[in-house]
Amino acid sequence: MILIDALFINKGGGAVLLQYLIEKVLAHPQKNKFFFLLDPRFERPAALHDNYVVIPNKMSERIRFYKQHKDAYTKVFCFANIPPPVKLKVPAYTYFHNQKLLEAPKRKFTRMYFKQYLKYLVLKRYNKNTDCYIVQTPHMVAELTALGLKDAAHCLSIPFYDNAKYITGHKPFDERPKDEFVFISNPSPQKNYPTLLDAWEYLLGKGITPRLHVTIDDTAPQFITRVNELNNKGARIVNHVYLDPRELYFNCPYLIFPSVIESFGLPLIEAVDSGMKVLSSDLPYVHDVIVPSLTFDPYNKVSIADAVVKALNENLPDSKIVTTNKVDELVALLLY
């Protein structure tokens, strides 16, 4: 039996990828060889019958589970950054998808990163319990090896994502509104909402008012207040709080992506599949997965604004995906 440990995964890109992995496993002829450890907050697919268990999302409960079942599995795949909390006698792989954890040792005394640093210490403590880390991009391999957690031979780049989810049903680019930009993201600090909103204020000062679609929830009331203030001055910013991105991806022309830290950047791929042109940060995580239509300096509001103006006035090249979905390779690695 193969354990897929997905405790602590319940929302965001990690949950999207976990849902997809579960779908692929359940469609596999050897699906009965897999068993899932799941977070109680995770929305389980209906097809997942009895080959899973849900335990409280606490590290103490995870340790208890492993101590009780350490001899029950032939292979273990941890899906939430942290290796097994006990040393196992079977191969163990850890899917790593949180670049903030790798940034934390360099910024441990800053308020934003202190909790991440504590999590990093847990990661480092259990590092010896995993044989390999599996990541989505080459830049994540470089980040892991730079910290000395593993050498390159024990950091495998196996990108996977649902490459059929957004490729049909979208509106042709030329039939979309000419001045609408989308940023579907939670308001975490690395997503860089303040600089994006600064750029929209800068554009407003020049009399340029493109529509911007965002998803800012009540965990960041300061950003909601800022959006309302800008709209009162004449900006056109629509806060959807939360929504399935399909409608916006299928009907708007541009994804604008100012994030400064991403382990994969799944929205970049989804946007290109949806026929959008992507304006993005000029950072390695972007170039690992797509060729964007235009890049900007994410730390500079004028650079972001200039990219928007260029999109409004020029015919930008199409964006292209350069990564490959290797989910079958991942499943095969776990099986054989």
Side chain identity at residue 198, one-letter code: D
Interval 27-44: pLDDT, tens = 999 999 999 999 999 998
Residue 161 tokens, joined:
């994502």
Tell me the C-alpha distance between 64 and 72, whole Å: 14
Q: What are phi and psi of 17, to 5 degrees?
A: -70, -35
Q: Is 40 exposed, middle or buried (0-12, 13-18, 19+ CB in 10 A)?
A: exposed
- Count Cα atoms within 13 angstroms, Cβ side, for 308: 30
Task: Give the per-residue pLDDT at 116.
Answer: 87
Residue 157 tokens, joined:
């780049």
Task: Give the per-residue pLDDT at 332.
Answer: 96
Residue 182 tokens, joined:
């989308």
Task: Give the per-residue pLDDT at 109.
Answer: 74
Task: Say whether pTM exceeds 0.85.
Answer: yes
Helix (H, G, I), strand (E, B) or coil at 210: coil
Residues of the chain short of pLDDT 50, as ranges, are none
Task: Give the per-residue pLDDT at 108.
Answer: 75
Q: In CATH, what number does 173-321 get?
A: 3.40.50.2000
Helix (H, G, I), strand (E, B) or coil at 72: coil
Which fold would CATH assign to domain 2-157?
Answer: Rossmann fold (3.40.50)
Q: Is the Cβ–Cβ distance between 131 and 92 less than 8 Å?
A: yes
Q: Where in the chain is the domain with CATH 3.40.50.2000?
A: 2-157, 173-321
Interval 169-216: pLDDT, tens = 999 999 999 999 999 999 998 999 999 999 999 999 999 999 999 999
Task: Give the per-residue pLDDT at 65.
Answer: 97
Task: Give the per-residue pLDDT at 202.
Answer: 98
